[in-house]
């Protein structure tokens, strides 16, 4: 429960600081560190609605490097990560050519380990499937028995 509460508190604090930073940018008190539209694009329809633009500008670009990380191995409990850096405040990234080894996987959909190439893990999966079978994962009211 603490993780959920502090996640929402973190987003609330980030949102408050985002509105404060937008206010400071509007009055010229803070330098714009983001990409700006070219003069030829000023008359185009905006790609984002107001809050989407706010979220991208103030929250997502700050934490973007935490997500969408390119990996270069099997997504098991540990994997290899491609190192990248940014020179324009997380708008674009460039790869350094280095690989960070044995990063702990804390956010993959491979929680059952089916992407593993370890023979022992696949044997365990086969044994359990033969023992319990597969299911459709729905309620009796939806699909019957």
pTM above 0.85, yes or no: no
Question: 104-117 b/e with 16+ CB inside 10 Å = b?
Answer: eeeeeeeeebeebe
pLDDT (tens digit, 0 to 9) for every residue of the chain, 145 residues total?
Answer: 898 999 899 989 989 998 998 899 888 888 776 656 667 767 777 766 777 778 877 888 778 887 788 888 888 778 899 999 988 878 789 999 999 999 888 777 776 667 777 777 778 878 888 888 877 666 666 666 6
Domain ranges, ordered by start, for the chain: 1-68, 69-145
Beta-carbon count within 10 A of 79 CB: 20
Other residues' Cβ atoms within 10 Å of the Cβ of residue 65: 13
């Amino acid at each position: 429960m603490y993780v959920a509460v502090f996640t929402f508190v973190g987003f609330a604090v980030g949102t408050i600081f985002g509105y404060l930073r937008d206010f400071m940018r509007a009055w010229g008190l803070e330098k714009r560190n983001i990409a700006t539209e070219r003069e030829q694009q000023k008359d185009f329809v905006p790609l984002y609605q107001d809050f989407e633009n706010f979220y991208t500008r103030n929250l997502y670009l700050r934490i973007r490097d935490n997500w969408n990380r390119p990996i270069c191995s099997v997504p098991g409990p540990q994997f290899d990560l491609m190192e990248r850096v940014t020179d324009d405040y997380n708008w674009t990234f460039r790869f350094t050519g280095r690989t960070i080894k044995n990063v702990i996987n804390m956010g993959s959909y491979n929680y059952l380990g089916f992407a593993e190439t370890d023979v022992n893990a696949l044997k365990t999966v086969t044994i359990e499937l033969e023992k319990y079978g597969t299911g459709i994962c729905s309620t009796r009211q939806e699909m019957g028995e």
